[in-house]
Amino acid sequence: MPEPIIKIRDLHTSYGELKVLKGITLDVYADETLVILGRSGCGKSTLLRHLIGLQKPTKGEIYIKDVDIVRASEDGREEVMKKIGMLFQGAALFNSMSVGENVALPLVEHTPLESSTISIMTRMKLDLVGLAGFENFMPSQLSGGMKKRAAMARALAMDPDILFCDEPSAGLDPIVAVGIDHLILKLKKAFKMTIVVVTHELASVFLIADRIALLHEGEVIFLGTKEEMKNSKDPRICQFLERRPDEEIIDRDKHLSALVGEGYIS
C-alpha cells in the first residue's frame, strides 16, 4: 500500500466524563474519496473538526503530509492548512461580501497575487462549479444548491491537495443533492484530489465513496468498500443500511400507541 496522506492514530476526545471518540485509527490515501459515515452523535463531526485543526483531541495523533497537526506550531499547522480546502455544511459564506469576494478571500489573505490575477482565478473557480457570471451576486440571492457550489469554489481557491466536505448535500432536495455529488466526482477526476466527506446520506455514499469508514459510538466499526459494506453481517451495519430504529424507540412507540388506544393520550 502507498504511504497515507492522512494518518489518524489512537484518537480520543472527551468532554468531561463523556467520551466522544474512543481510539480512532484511520488512514486516508492520496486520490481517494473516503466517506466518514454514521448516525447523529457518533463523533464524525468532532473527528472532522480535529482534521481541519479547529479542535485538539484529548489524546492521539493526526498526521497530514507527515506533519502532526495536533502538536505542530501554529505556523507549521497553517502551512499544511493552506493546501486543504473545506466545504462547510451550511456553506458559511460571508453575507456582507459578494460571491466573487467570498471565493477570492483565501487568495487575498494567503497569496501575494495581484488583484487582476485573483479576479481571473476567481472566475475560473466559479466556472468550474457551474456559477460563471455570478461573481457580483450576493449570497442572499443564491439558492441553497448555488450557495454550496459557491462555497465549493472558495474551498478550491488555493488549489488544495485535500478537500474536506461536511454534509455537502444536507438541506438540499434530491435533484440538487445529486448534482453536488456529481460535482465532487468531477473535481476528483479533474484534480486528482484526496476527498474526505462526512455524511449520513446513504445515496451520496454509494455514489461517491471509494472507501467508507462507519463510526458507531465513537469507534470505527467498519472500514472498506461499498460492496464490502453491503455484504456485511454486522447487525449494527445492517441496522444502519436498513434504516431500522433502535429497539427502545420501537418499545416507546408501542407504549405510546397503547396509551392512545386506552384513552390516556388524545
Return the pLDDT at 140: 93
**What is the rounded CA–CA span in Å between residue 196 and residue 27?**
11
How is the beta sheet containing 33-37 ordered, strand by strand? 84-87, 162-166, 194-199, 33-37, 211-216, 219-224
Residue from 23, 78, 43, 5 nearest 214 by CA: 43
**Residues constituting the chain:** 266
Q: Which grid cell is 115?
A: 488583484
> Among 154, 179, 159, which Cα is nearest to 94's?
154
Q: How confident is the model at residue 261 (pLDDT cuts 50, 70, 90)?
A: low
For domain 1-83+191-226, the CATH superfamily is: P-loop containing nucleotide triphosphate hydrolases (3.40.50.300)
21-60 pLDDT, tens per residue? 999 999 999 999 999 998 877 888 899 999 998 889 999 9
pLDDT tens digits for 82-95? 889 999 888 889 99
Spell out a b/e string for 222-261, using b for 16 or more CB atoms within 10 Å of the CB, else e: beeebeebeebeeeebeebbeeeeeeeeeeeeeeeeeeee
Q: Calculate mean pLDDT across residues 103-130.
A: 93
- pTM for the model: 0.86
Give the C-alpha separation, 151 to 156, whole Å.
9
Does the structure show a pLDDT above 80 at 188? Answer: yes
Give the C-alpha separation, 56 to 104, whole Å.
28
Share above pLDDT 90 across residues of the chain, in percent, rounded to a whole number: 56
Query: Which residue ranges make up each domain of the chain?
Result: 1-83+191-226, 233-266
Q: What gap in Å lies between CA 256 and CA 111, rounded to an integer?
A: 60
Alpha carbon separation from 34 to 20, 206, 230 (Å, rounded): 21, 11, 16
